Each structure stands twice: as C-alpha cells, then as structure tokens.
Amino acid sequence: MSAEKGIDVAAVGDVLDINTWSNIPYFFYKAGKEAGIFSRPWRLDVTPFTTPRIVWNAKQVMLGRGAGGFQYSDEFIDACEKQVPSEYFSSTIISFNQVFPRAASVKKANGRIFYYIDATLHDLFNSDVYNIRIPARMRSIALETETRNYQQADGIVTMGRWAQEALFDFYKIDRSKVFQVLPGANIDVPSDFHPKPFTDGAGTSRDLTLGFIGKDWQRKGLPLLLDVRDKLQASGLKTKVVVIGNMPEELKDREGIVYGGFIDKESDTQRFIDIVSGCDFGCLFSSSEALGISTLEFLRLGVPVMGFDHQGLKDTLIDGASLRFNINDDATVVARTISSVVQSDQMQFLKEEAIRQRNSVTWNVCVNKWADIIR
C-alpha cells in the first residue's frame, strides 16, 4: 500500500512530537511513513486551548454544571477540527483519540476513519484507579460522541483484547469491524544492537536487577515492586530495582534503588537502551493498565518481563518470555515465585525466549498489520 492512498495519522496534539500521548503516535507514524504506508501526520497545536479551557470551565460552574471535561466538549472538538485543512478529512484516517476527529466530519468529506484505542471512555470513566473527575453531564456527552464515532467508523482497532469487551457489550458495535493489533515498543533500536546474553549469578555473585519504567509510579506498582525487592534481599538474594521515570523523593534514598530519572528517548536513546537492556526483568504490576508499553520496551531489548495478568497487560506479557501473576498476589507471593525462577534453569529460558521474540514487538509489525486491515 503506497502513500498515494492518503492514509493520515491523527491525535489530539502534534503526531510528529514525541511527547504526544506517551510517544505512541510519533513512533506509529514514523514506522508507517518509512514503510510507505502512511502519507500525512496531523499536527494540532493544543497550546491555544489554555485560555478557552479556563473560560469554558468558568461558564460551566456559573451554569451549575461543574468544572471538567472540556476535552470532550463540542467547543474543543470543533476548535481541533478547524485546525485541520478541510481536504484532510477526505483521506483514510487513523486516530488515537476516541472523540477526535468526529466520524461524521470524516464521512461528510467521503473519507474513512479508524480509531486505534487502548481503552474506551467507558472503561476509563468506570475505573477507580484512573479516577477521571468530570461531571456526570460531560461523561454522558463524551460517551454519546464516542458511541456515534464507533458506530460510523470503518473500524475500531484495540491495542489489547480486553478493551473489546466494552465495544461489544456497552457500545454494541458489530464484531466484524473490531480488530486487535498490538502496538510496538516506543524505542528506536540501532541496527547494530545485540541483546545482552544470559549471565549466571543473579542474586549471588551479582545483583538480580528488576527494572521499572513509568510516570504514574503508584498505579504502575512501584511500591509493590520495592516490597518484593526487600523480601528477596531478606531471603538472601542480592536484588536492586532500577527506576526510569517518576518516583517521590522519599523513595529515592530507599535501599536497593537505582534511580535513572526521566530519559528522553529521542535525544538520549543509547542511555535508555543501556539501562533497560541491563535488567534481568522488566516489571509492571499495575493496579489498572490499559496496555503496558513499558513491557514491550523491555521485550524489544531482549529482557523478559513480569506483571499482573489482567486488562491490557495480558497481551504484552508474551508467552515464554514472561512471568504472569494474579492481580491479588502480594509481595510475598511474587518474591517467592521470582526466587524459585532465579534459582532454577527457568531464568535462562525466559531470557532466551525474550531475545527470540524481540522482533515481534516492533512498530513495523504493527503498521503492516494495519495495512492489511485498511485494505
């Protein structure tokens, strides 16, 4: 499929900005452009919306409706759509946002629209963990807009299988236009990269290294992981936790933590690769997780992963290269399992399988599956 087919990639923000929506649109578009599949990125400037958001919220409060939910309002979506040249709407569009662009706007221009989502708004609004605080009226408006979009869309593609449950049960979407495509790892791996091979001695002659990547450290289970580390250490296994992303000051001096801070994957790629590929396991024990891109980043670099076997994580914990845990498992159960794995041959097998599977979690694989769907 060539670029002349007119396949655009859209998001609320600039698709060419790596900081837009957790890096995902940037890496997705880049891979599709290089493959000759995608033709054009949508480059919204969301900075002008600060003042309109304040004014809109103030008006809602004055009307007794409560503040919050501007990003789902007609005013916001109208303003976003006005930024887009009218001829773009006649293309085939893949959007990473549930309410933008409106399917009706695309259909009016004889275009095609596909939505690529990690979760529906219904899932997000009903999650105690995400705790999206907007008035009930705006929730209703957002869900109505989203439902119309899905009903008129040419396809809805979920990143993980779990998000499809709401599409079928709540939104009543025809199964024939719902697909699932696992995203790729958000990292540009040099062509000469070679994964670090398995090395003996984890927990004895060297530290067992557990890796963590994430901004929302609490939801993503860093406290549990630190408790797991302490239990492993107390049992006699030398263990450290390497953290990339965010964590509170009071945890940074805790014993057994190596804090790498935030790493810009565009300007400091090699440092990110060096730290992540040096881990024995990538860990993601999220209480709620729409997908779990960080697990894919570890796997892409040949590092096996572990985490809770629920929601979107189910699809990123690749069989053979992962340790799956029940959402109710505590630090004692997790530590006991890790200890058993480390002291057996299983750790080597997990490492070897992660290296074998690393090329299955790329954006190239993802965009080629997308090309088949769009055809």
Write out pLDDT tens, residues 152-197. 999 999 999 999 999 999 999 999 999 999 999 999 999 999 999 9
Whether residue 287 lies inside any domain: the answer is yes
Closest to 301 (Cα-Cα) out of 223, 173, 213, 206: 213
Whether residue 136 lies inside any domain: the answer is yes
pLDDT digits (tens, 9 = 90+) for 311-360: 999 999 999 999 999 999 999 999 999 999 999 999 999 999 999 999 99
Q: Rounded distance, CA 90 to CA 105, Å?
A: 9
Q: Rounded distance, CA 315 to CA 162, Å?
A: 9
Q: Is residue 248's pLDDT more than 80?
A: yes
Query: Could you please report the per-residue DSSP string of 154-217?
Result: SEEEESSGGGHHHHHHTS---GGGEEE-----S----TT--PPPP-S-BTTTB-EEEEEEESST
Q: Rounded distance, CA 12 to CA 21, Å?
A: 8
pLDDT of 131 reads 79
Query: Could you please report the per-residue DSSP string of 39-69?
Result: -EE-B---GGGHHHHHHHHHHHHHTTS-S--
Q: Are residues 153 and 8 in the same domain?
A: yes
Q: Are residues 260 and 315 in the same domain?
A: yes
Q: Are residues 161 and 213 in the same domain?
A: no
CATH code of residue 265 = 3.40.50.2000
User: Can you give the pTM of this predicted structure?
Assistant: 0.95
Whether residue 11 lies inside any domain: the answer is yes
How many domains does the chain fold into? Answer: 2
Q: Are residues 158 and 28 in the same domain?
A: yes
pLDDT digits (tens, 9 = 90+) for 36-57: 999 999 999 999 999 999 999 9
pLDDT digits (tens, 9 = 90+) for 96-142: 999 999 999 999 999 999 999 999 999 999 988 887 889 999 999 99
Q: Is residue 29's pLDDT more than 60?
A: yes
pLDDT digits (tens, 9 = 90+) for 54-99: 999 999 999 999 999 999 999 999 999 999 999 999 999 999 999 9
Q: Are residues 172 and 212 in the same domain?
A: no
- Residue 253 — very low, low, confident or very high, per pLDDT cuts 50/70/90? confident
Q: For the chain, what is the mean pLDDT?
A: 96
- Residue 6 — very low, low, confident or very high, per pLDDT cuts 50/70/90? confident
Whether residue 264 lies inside any domain: the answer is yes
pLDDT of 3 reads 37
In the sheet with 155-158, reading across from the earlier edge strand, the strands are: 40-41, 7-10, 92-95, 112-117, 155-158, 178-180
Closest to 209 (Cα-Cα) out of 165, 187, 240, 244: 240
Say if CB 285 and CB 304 are below 8 A apart: no
- Residue 4 — very low, low, confident or very high, per pLDDT cuts 50/70/90? very low
CATH code of residue 78 = 3.40.50
- Residue 2 — very low, low, confident or very high, per pLDDT cuts 50/70/90? very low
Q: Are residues 145 and 286 in the same domain?
A: no
Whether residue 370 lies inside any domain: the answer is no
For the purposes of burial, counting CB atoms within 10 Å of the CB of 81, is it exposed (0-12), middle (13-18) or buried (19 or more)? Answer: middle
Q: Are residues 232 and 341 in the same domain?
A: yes
Would you give the distance in Å from CA 156 to the centre of its chain?
17
pLDDT of 67 reads 96
pLDDT of 168 reads 98
Q: Is residue 369's pLDDT more than 90?
A: yes
Range of the domain at 160: 3-180
Q: Are residues 318 and 280 in the same domain?
A: yes
- Residue 375 — very low, low, confident or very high, per pLDDT cuts 50/70/90? confident
pLDDT digits (tens, 9 = 90+) for 262-294: 999 989 999 999 999 999 999 999 999 999 999
Q: Are residues 78 and 19 in the same domain?
A: yes
Q: Are residues 83 and 37 in the same domain?
A: yes
Place of tokens 């340790």: 323
pLDDT of 129 reads 85
Half-sphere exposure of 264 (CA within 13 A, CB side): 6
Q: Are residues 114 and 253 in the same domain?
A: no
Q: Is residue 5's pLDDT more than 80?
A: no
